[in-house]
Structure 1
Amino acid sequence: MSVPTHEDPVEQDGSAVTANKAPDPESGAPATPEKKPSRAGRNLPAALGVGFGLGISLILVLVFVPKVMIPIVAVAMAIATWEVTQRLREADVQVPRIPLLVGGQAMIWLAWPYGTTGTLGAFAATVLVTMTWRLFDHGLHATPKNYLRDTAVAVFVAAWIPLLASFATLLVLEDDGGKRVLTFMIGVVCSDVGGYAAGVLFGKHPMVPAISPKKSWEGFAGSLLFTIVGEVLTVTFLLGASSWIGVVLGVGLVIVATLGDLLESQFKRDLGIKDMGTLLPGHGGIMDRLDSLLPSAFVSWAVFSALI
């Protein structure tokens, strides 16, 4: 369930993109205008089609067979981890891929029988194995290069992707787990849609132009409005809880969804890439659609655990 982009259309220098070429020097007539790029910055029809298809599929799973979300999350996290580690290796950051892939699966699957204890235990084991693996990955007699950098990035990836995703598993294991996951996913979609719509219509003041030039304060306000309304409705009617919990959840989701988007934007900026992958037409890779969902899963788990 996602929309093509949740970055708002504000150019880095605040100016509009020119649509016309210079006059043809031979004929003196204006050249054919360039095709103005989509304000979303992507293939909008493809992005909408993929997003709609994914959204409907997830809704059906969450309504009829919610525990099927566990293998879906596991597969998605494996692909996302592969994408990120591949991009890092292309930038000569040698993160240990096998421990991250195996440890990520352990974090997600051990949440089923052992809850948070299983997830956190698997995370600690993944960190330990990753540190050791990188120490000896070139043999016992080779001196590791960039050891601190590579292990620090590997721990970051383990926390960023599978650890945060495991909280979606913890959510779905509750008696009304399908509804809880659906509630937080609707909130993230509302944040995306509200931010995009408000940014297109009113976006003039960039929020953090050094990291994400297209994200505006007007878009952030739109995200808040849409998400609070969406979460009040879903928390009230889907979960049968007090509407004020929806307000708390809505505010929390907008904050972490925005931060998650900014985090991935800076990650890609550091690596000099546009997308993490190419698996989803109009979206990029799996990880490009998870940047807001991952921290939102944790915040939703925390709010539901504390207040419901």
Structure 2
Amino acid sequence: MSQLDPYGNQTPNRAPDSWVPDPWLDQPDREPAGEWPTRNGRADEPYTGSGDLPYSEAEAQTAAYPQVQPRAEADAEPATDPVRPRRPGPGKRRATGRAGRNLPAAIGVGVTLGAVVIASLFVWRPAFLAVIVVALGVAIWEMSRAVRAVGAHPPAVPLAAGGLVTIGMAWYAGEDALMLGFLVTLLATLVWRLADGLSGFGRDAAAATLIAVYVPFLGGFAALLAEPDDGARRVIVTLAAVVLSDTGGYVAGVFFGKRPMAPTISPKKSWEGLAGSLVATAVGSAILLYLLLDVEPWWGAVFGLALSIASVLGDLAESMLKRDLGIKDMSNLLPGHGGLMDRLDSILFALPTAYLLLAVFT
């Protein structure tokens, strides 16, 4: 006779008294849960014979295997505290102005150059001629290098030699000598360049003419200003007017500047800054010319207004030139300033203006 086993299979010729209990179904009664031994406050089941491990041993074995994080937690980036940038310690920060200049270096260089000019004017007058020659020689070198950015190569040798001779001629022989020296320098430069062929001659000739007019010709008026007996004071009031214009424009632009004056040429210049330049230069020049040259205050105010406008035009002219050349500074010769031409741009336009006005006023 066959019987059905617990799995539904037929077992033939098996007597009921030979039944063997199945360990999966016929397990002995477990002990009450309250009588189970505990470990670390957790009930530990006794071995049941079913192949399961006690709870504590199973937990220990499970902890030995790597734990798989849920997908959302695995894909998430570990949370980290944001790293705050460290502030530089003492001596590591630089004071910069609106233009990004190093103000301490700029002020130090400006004071040093001013002291050299004043000392050369009042200690030994011929030393001022040497200051002019060195300054304009460096300016010619900077300009000759700068125009190479557009492929121009003006002859630097005749430009520098002729320009410096022109300054000396203006110092000793006056206005006519300045004009003669300029024309001779320009002619010699063009002939020198023509000897290298016609390829690129027009471009190089235009660059040479620009440099000759911009640097030695305009700079030669510094020698004309210093030539009279009161020449030292004339130079001082001229340079002071330029400094007043720059300072007044900077302060007014920082505190009140809202409307850009020439955004495509010099974005940081504003109409409010121009007003500050005009006011500061007019007031300061009225006082200085009255004290140093015995000029009526209203004439001094006119002098200051004219030099302020000339200074701003000179600054804008060089800014436009540098934009066309695709450069920021003429060189990095002066810390905090750039090149020497970056300091002479306003002065070069102010020199002939001051010379002509002082010739009328005095």
Scaled to the shorter chain, the TM-score interval is 0.7 to 0.9
Q: CA deviation at 1:150?
A: 1.5
Cα displacement string for residues 239-285 of structure 1 (whole angstroms, at most 9, x for unaligned residues):
11211221121111111100100111111111111111111111111
2:353 corresponds in structure 1 to: 299
CA distance in 2, matches of 1:120, 1:165: 12
Amino acid at match of 1:271: L
* CA deviation vs aligned residue, 1:79-131 (integer Å, no higher than 9, x gap): 01001101212432111111110111121000122101111001111111122
Conserved in 2, the CA contact under 8 Å of 1:63 and 1:179? no
- Give 1:80's match in structure 2, choosing from 123, 139, 143: 139
Alpha-carbon distance in structure 1 between the residues aligned to 2:272 and 2:79 = 45
Matched, 1:44 2:98: no
Q: Which residue of 1 aligns with 2:158?
A: 99
Q: If you compute each CA radius of gyration, which structure gives the higher value, 1 or 2?
A: 2
Structure 1 alignment gaps of length 5 or more: 1-24
**1:240-279, aligned counterparts within 5 Å?**
240-279=294-333
Structure 1 pair 45–121 and aligned structure 2 pair: CA distance change class (3 A): same
| TM-score, with length taken from structure 1 | 0.86
Structure 1 residues 188-199: aligned runs within 5 Å? 188-199=242-253
Q: Secondary structure at the match of 1:110?
A: helix
Which of 108, 124, 127 is equivalent to 1:65? 124
- Distance in 1, matches of 2:353 and 2:154, equals 27
Contact 2:295 2:361 in 1 (8 A): no
Work out the CA distance in 2 between the residues paired with 1:266 and 1:109. Answer: 30
Q: What is the match of residue 293 of structure 2?
A: 239
Q: 2:85 aligns with which of 32, 40, 55?
A: 32
In the aligned structure 2, how far is the partner of 1:286 from the partner of 1:122?
23
Matched, 1:154 2:208: yes
Partner SS state of residue 238, structure 2: helix
How is 1:92-241 mapped onto 2 (pairs within 5 angstroms)? 92-136=151-195, 138=196, 143-241=197-295
Whether the aligned pair in 1 keeps the contact of 2:218 and 2:348 (CA below 8 Å) is yes
User: Which one-letter code corresponds to 2:170 in the other structure?
Assistant: A
Q: Is the 8 A contact 1:66 1:177 kept in 2?
A: no
User: Aligned equivalents of 1:292 and 1:38: distance in 2?
Assistant: 19
Q: CA deviation at 1:41?
A: 1.7
- C-alpha distance after superposition, 1:8-67 (max 9, x if no partner): xxxxxxxxxxxxxxxxx9747475399996423211111111111212222222233333
For each residue in 1:215-258, what CA deviation from the matched residue of structure 2 results, as whole angstroms up to 9, or x when unmatched? 01111011001101111111100111211221121111111100
Name the TM-score, length of structure 2 as normaliser.
0.73
Give secondary structure in 1 for the equivalent of 2:343.
helix
- Stretches of structure 2 that go unaligned for 5 or more consecutive residues are 1-77, 88-92
Q: Is the 8 A contact 1:67 1:173 kept in 2?
A: no
Q: Residues 74 and 105 of structure 1 are in contact (CA less than 8 Å); yes or no, is this contact kept in structure 2?
A: yes
- After superposition, the Cα gap between the structure-2 partners of 1:155 and 1:26, relative to the gap in structure 1 and judged at 3 Å, is farther
Task: For residue 269 of structure 2, give the secondary structure of its aligned residue in structure 1.
Answer: strand
- 8 Å contact kept, 2:147–2:207: no
Q: Structure 2 residue aligned with 1:283, among 314, 334, 337? A: 337
CA distance in structure 1 between the aligned counterparts of 2:79 and 2:243, rounded to whole angstroms: 51
State the secondary structure of the residue aligned to 1:275: coil
**CA separation of 1:227/1:28 partners in 2, compared to 1, >3 Å: closer, same or farther?**
same
Which residue identity does 1:240 align to in structure 2?
A: D
Letter in 2 for 1:169: A
Separation in 1, partners of 2:323, 2:300: 34
Deviates more, 1:194-203 or 1:47-56: 47-56
Q: Is this contact kept in 1: 2:315–2:345, CA < 8 A?
A: yes
CA distance in 2: counterparts of 1:269 and 1:61, whole angstroms: 35
Q: C-alpha distance in 2, partners of 1:38/1:60?
A: 29
- Alpha-carbon distance in structure 2 between the residues aligned to 1:228 and 1:30: 53
Structural RMSD (CA): 1.9
Q: Which has the higher contact order (CA 8 A, sep 6+)?
A: 1
